[in-house]
Amino acid sequence: MSHKHDGWGWMLAVDFFFAGMGGAMLVIAGIGDLFLGDGQTSVLGNFAGAVFIAVGACFLILELGRPFQAFRVFMNPKTILTFGAWNMTLAIIAGILFASFGITLLPWSKLILLRKFFAAFCLIFGLVVATYPGALLARNKARPFWNGPGIMVLFFLSSFITGMAGHILCGYIIGESSWFIVNGYIVGSFSSLVLQDLPHLTAILLLFQLIFWSGYIWIKWSGSTEREAKAAQRWISGDLSASFKLGFILLGTIVPIVLLLFTNPVVHSVGACLALLGGMIMRYLVVRAGEDRTWLPGELKYRSRLPVGNEDFLKAWKS
Amino acid sequence: MAHYAMVIDTRRCVGCHSCTVACKVHNELPVDMIYNPVTTVGPIGVFPDLHMVHIPLLCMHCENTPCVDACPTGASLRREDGIVWIEEKKCVGCKACVMACPYGARIPNQKKGIVQKCDFCSDRVDQGKVPRCVQSCHQKARIFGDLDDPNSEVCKLINRFHAIRLLDELGTKPSVYYINGLGVQMR
């Protein structure tokens, strides 16, 4: 049944994807630096974390009805969206400053204590940025597929999978163009324990993701309310099922698990790309699942009869 | 301070949509925006015992407002008299309130880039008049008044007919009550 929706669009899904990935990349970089030492993640990966959050923020701004008034989003500290916006901003700043310590030409690159300080900020703000999209959705009481803490866990997990995939890709790219490292312009990460273990760790998280998503859909489908069961049905046999099963589960989760178990860095990079694709598809499907509100009596039938915008009479009206 | 509320007597509503039209005219809404839809449930039953119910929907002006709580700009506000409204110059059209509202009462205005909603015709209410939808209802299916006044018609009707609130289980405490005399499932 076709009917008009006035909710969030694909740009918010892209925001969630980039913000989650970037936030998790900063967390991984922060943990590596704080607990294992310098050069655990690539300089490119550290910069990319902050840049990805900024890209996500740009999509969030484009999703607004009045993008030039975007500064107002920072105005109400009691709301989770404002909290998220502030944390995204602070994470971008902390991420760029932290990544700059990897450029040995910069005078402050030898100040270890200051680097640790920014690594801690990356860890804190990155963690919030990676978590808050899930919390934002989970609080919506009227959206049966989102409501509850489960979606927060799934977003958190996916953020870390995409963040790790991002670091794997950045490590591969910078490894292929190591001229800057050999000549001493940036800190190398060739002997990094973190980067070496990321593919296997990502594969393990992907396996968790597969289990958690199966459980989440099953719990919603057999859940406490009829509206939750209906929302889950869209993922099992409805309009979202093909993208969910083929795009997210098979191509974005199972295939990367297999590829990340190999030892070849090229195969790892392909696996990481597919894991990123899966993360993107998942967020898009989750945002689309939010179209299903708890409908009021007779409302679905009423809305199904409203024009969706491409009707001839509406075009005639506008012309 | 008053607490404005509305009682909708579904036994009286004939589904003429005159409230929808009056609202659109009063608020000068574009063709694709409706604050005030009237849905229909039914026909229910077996001939000749058939019946149908028309359910006018609007912003429920909740006491616990998920939309106000979700607004990052502070554009969504609740007045002391219970009217929930949007300060348009502050709204950036992020649609957080649209997603938070369980009643679908908030509608994005694509042209203005903001979200708009029913405000119980606060301009009229401030002048001591009733909202336009209430004035236009020739069946007197909509009754508007002060919930805090025990002698008001809304208060008496709610108590007499045990009027219900939609999606009450979500804890939003809506200020719109429905008298459901035909036994149609409204919860």
Measured CA to CA, the distance from residue A261 to residue A198 in angstroms comes to 11
The predicted structure's pLDDT at residue A174? 76
The predicted structure's pLDDT at residue B110? 87
Asked if the model's pLDDT at residue A157 lies above 60, the reply is: yes
Q: Would you call A3 an interface residue with chain B, using a CB distance cutoff of 8 Å?
A: no
Size of interface A-B (CB pairs under 8 A): 132
When CB atoms are compared, the residue of B32, B39, B72 closest to A297 is: B39
The predicted structure's pLDDT at residue A1? 39
Measured CA to CA, the distance from residue B7 to residue B22 in angstroms comes to 18
Asked if the model's pLDDT at residue A2 lies above 60, the reply is: no
pTM score: 0.90
The predicted structure's pLDDT at residue A192? 65
Residue B107 domain flag: no
- Lowest mean pLDDT segment, chosen from A104-113, A151-160, A175-184, A215-224: A175-184
**Contacts A143 to B, Cβ<8 Å:** 99
Check CB contact under 8 Å for A293 and B96: no
Asked if the model's pLDDT at residue A3 lies above 60, the reply is: no
The predicted structure's pLDDT at residue A189? 61
The predicted structure's pLDDT at residue A181? 64
Highest mean pLDDT among A25-29, A179-183, B160-164: A25-29
Burial class (CB within 10 angstroms; exposed 0-12, middle 13-18, buried 19+) of A9: middle
* B45-75 confidence digits (pLDDT tens): 888 888 889 999 999 999 999 999 999 999 9
The predicted structure's pLDDT at residue A264? 86
Peptide bond into B174 cis (omega under 30): no
Look at A292 and A276; give whichever has higher pLDDT. Answer: A276
Asked if the model's pLDDT at residue A91 lies above 60, the reply is: yes
Q: What is the mean pLDDT of residues B76-99?
A: 94
Residue B86 domain flag: no
Asked if the model's pLDDT at residue B97 lies above 90, the reply is: yes
The predicted structure's pLDDT at residue A303? 86
Residue B106 domain flag: no
Q: What is the mean pLDDT of residues A224-232?
A: 84
When CB atoms are compared, the residue of A64, A65, A79 closest to B70 is: A79
Place A194 in a pLDDT band, splitting at 50, 70 and 90. low
Residue B51 domain flag: yes
Check CB contact under 8 Å for B39 and A296: yes
Residue B151 domain flag: yes
The whole domain housing B122 covers 4-62+118-179
Angle among Cα A312, A316, A319 to the nearest 5 degrees reads: 140
Domains of chain A: 10-293 (1.20.1630.10)
Asked if the model's pLDDT at residue A88 lies above 90, the reply is: yes
**Contacts A75 to B, Cβ<8 Å:** 72-74, 90
Q: What is the mean pLDDT of residues B9-38?
A: 92
* B26-44 confidence digits (pLDDT tens): 999 988 889 999 999 988 8
When CB atoms are compared, the residue of B70, B99, B172 closest to A8 is: B99
Cα distances (Å, whole numbers) of residue A79 to A74, A91, A124, A248: 10, 18, 19, 31
Check CB contact under 8 Å for A142 and B115: no
Crossing angle of helices A10-31 and A43-63, in 10° steps, is: 150
Q: What is the mean pLDDT of residues B96-110?
A: 92
Q: Would you call A77 an interface residue with chain B, using a CB distance cutoff of 8 Å?
A: no
Asked if the model's pLDDT at residue A219 lies above 80, the reply is: yes
Residue B70 domain flag: no
The predicted structure's pLDDT at residue B45? 83
Asked if the model's pLDDT at residue A311 lies above 80, the reply is: no
Question: What are B40's strand-pairing partners?
Answer: B54
In chain B, how many domains are there?
A: 1
Asked if the model's pLDDT at residue B145 lies above 60, the reply is: yes
Residue B131 domain flag: yes
Asked if the model's pLDDT at residue A160 lies above 90, the reply is: yes
The predicted structure's pLDDT at residue A106? 87
Asked if the model's pLDDT at residue A36 lies above 90, the reply is: no
Place A182 in a pLDDT band, splitting at 50, 70 and 90. low
When CB atoms are compared, the residue of B39, B92, B100 closest to A64 is: B92
Residue B47 domain flag: yes
- Describe chain B by its helix, strand, coil percentages, rounded to 5: 25, 25, 50
Look at A38 and B116; give whichever has higher pLDDT. Answer: B116
**What rounded mean pLDDT belongs to chain A?**
88
* A49-65 confidence digits (pLDDT tens): 999 999 999 999 999 99
Asked if the model's pLDDT at residue A5 lies above 60, the reply is: no
Asked if the model's pLDDT at residue A162 lies above 90, the reply is: yes
Asked if the model's pLDDT at residue B119 lies above 60, the reply is: yes
The predicted structure's pLDDT at residue A268? 92
Handedness of CA B14, B18, B20, B23 (dihedral sign): negative
| SS3 state of residue B178 | strand
Give the rounded percent of residues in chain A with a pLDDT score beyond 70: 91
The predicted structure's pLDDT at residue B63? 94
CATH number at residue B141: 3.30.70.20
